[in-house]
Structure 1
Amino acid sequence: MDWHLKVFEVIDMRSFSNLWFWIALAVMWSSASHWVLGVPFDMVSRAAKNGGQAEIDLEDLVRINANRILFIAAEAGLWLTGLGAFVLSMLAISGFGFGVELAQALFLLGMPMSLVALLSTRTAGLIREGALKGPDLRRRLSRHRVAVQAIGMVSIFITALWGMYRNMSVGPFGG
């Protein structure tokens, strides 16, 4: 038997019945809700608790990341939007039109993350527009985090429903 057949036998390549897919989904949403605009959320809590240098560090890091996000959006936003729409459309058509399970899984990972990217760009703009600092900045970052967590919960729910449907309708051995 060839080595690659052994590898594919050990590692199930179907997405929704693969433990690694579900681990990747959990890690992706855990990371997305922890890193708010590229800033670890524990810095927000520390700034609220300690103030002083922790507050200054938070404001500096948020300013740097917000400016970076807005710079990328201004310079390449149209191209990134077009490329993202193309990739998501291709995955949706391949996955749900032609029944490719890997494309379905990638679409269910990518579509909600594109919403998070749009939300992050909007939040970065609001922070820069309002020159938010202190409690106002922490409140805006907390609202952003709650919105990301809501998107994540809905995404995980829909992905789990679709995964159960696929596993029950297709069966454990494909077909």
Structure 2
Amino acid sequence: MRSFSNLWFWIALAVMWSTVNHWVLGVPYDMILRARRAKGETGQDFEDLVRINVNRILLIAEESGVLLVGFASFMLTALVLLGFVYDREFAQALVLLGTPMTLVAWLVVRTARAIRARDLHGPDLVKRLSRHRVMTQVIGIISLFITAMWGMLQNFSSSALGG
């Protein structure tokens, strides 16, 4: 279960962050760019899709949020213990994948609440989603850096030990 020396782990990590950065609150980023430039039906379709996704996200957060937070906390705690106390590399890899995704999930709910509370439309909505994407990219860059450093440390230490 060598994760950090496995090419599939790094491919999964790249696909995960690419997908998270492309789909901003369930809206493809190219649609946000088109909405920034265009008016009329394209802008209305964009706002409808955002409204649908905001309502869906907030419904899930309000109805199941406590259970989801509890389950995620339990899983991350178990993975941290397995990975860093019991030195299981696969669990370490899952922690390095899952922890930043919990930050992104919190950011998604926060952005959805702000969109609903401020009743954002048009350029203000595009600006808010663009800001959300930048924050997600910052989380991704920090996460990729930490994961790469930890992975190199694991690979160097296992090769030094002859493993």
Larger radius of gyration: 1
Give the letter aligned to residue 137 of structure 2: Q
Which residue, out of 83, 89, 95, partners 2:83?
Answer: 95
Q: TM-score, normalised by structure 2?
A: 0.97
Q: Tell me which residue corresponds to 1:121.
A: 109
Q: Secondary structure at the match of 1:124?
A: helix
151, 159, 166: which one pairs with 2:139? 151
Cα deviation per residue 1:136-159 (whole Å; 9 max; x = unaligned)? Answer: 000000000000000000000000
Deviation at 1:174, TM superposition (A): 6.6
Does residue 1:139 correspond to 2:127, yes or no?
A: yes
Cα separation, 2, equivalents of 1:88 and 1:129: 31
- Cα deviation for residue 170 of structure 1 reads 1.2
The gaps in structure 2 that reach 5 residues or longer are: none
What is the match of residue 69 of structure 2? 81
Aligned to 2:45: 57
Kindly tell me: are residues 164 and 130 of structure 1, through their superposed partners in 2, closer, same or farther at Cα, counting changes over 3 Å?
Answer: same
Q: Please report how far the alpha carbon of residue 29 of structure 1 lies from its aligned counterpart in structure 2 after TM superposition.
A: 0.3
Gaps of 5+ in 1: 1-12
- TM-score relative to the length of structure 1: 0.91
Question: Match of 2:14?
Answer: 26
For residue 18 of structure 1, what is the amino acid of its counterpart? N
RMSD value, Cα: 1.2
How big is the shift at 1:173? 8.5
